[in-house]
């Protein structure tokens, strides 16, 4: 009986120690960015700059697993990035052919690079080239 009781206590102690050594997985880091200063739209070989108050900012959401969403006006391009890269303070993603969720619109290729230290990002698409301000969300 005592021997059985010792085995039980040792097993219980081991389970308790192992449970304390593990922690729940942390959710992936996620950032939310907006082009609040300017909207830069590019067509052909020229770009037009629209100043504050004359445009609705876009919302870019990135996560460490490559989730990517760019929302503008009446819908979003969303999906998973094909290329994810982290080097130093920089986190970059490239999504190819991300589908549009609005009523009309085409898929888009989206590239974004975030400086995780300064929390500034650059966004490039076939039609836009925005500097963006980000926060952890």
Q: Which residues pair with 56 in a beta bridge?
A: none
Residue-level pLDDT at 4: 55
Residue-level pLDDT at 120: 97
- Is the pLDDT at 38 greater than 60? The verdict is yes
Q: Which residues pair with 69 in a beta bridge?
A: 61, 78
- From the centroid of its chain, how far is CA 71? 13
Decide: pTM greater than 0.85.
no
Residue-level pLDDT at 95: 97
Cα(20)–Cα(89) distance, rounded to whole angstroms? 32
Contact 71, 59 (CB under 8 A): yes
Bigger pLDDT: 129 or 103? Answer: 129
């Amino acid at each position: 009986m005592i021997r059985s009781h010792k085995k039980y206590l040792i097993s219980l102690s081991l389970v308790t120690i192992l449970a304390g050594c593990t922690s729940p997985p942390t959710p992936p880091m996620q950032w939310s960015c907006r082009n609040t200063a300017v909207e830069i739209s590019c067509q052909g070989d020229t770009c037009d700059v629209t100043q504050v108050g004359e445009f609705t900012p876009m919302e870019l959401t990135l996560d460490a697993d490559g989730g990517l969403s760019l929302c503008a006006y009446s819908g979003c391009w969303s999906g998973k990035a094909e290329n994810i890269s982290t080097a130093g303070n920089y986190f970059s993603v490239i999504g190819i052919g991300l589908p549009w969720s609005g009523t009309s619109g085409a898929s888009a290729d989206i590239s974004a690079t975030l400086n995780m230290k300064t929390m500034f990002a650059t966004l490039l698409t076939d039609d836009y080239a925005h500097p963006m301000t980000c926060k952890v969300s």
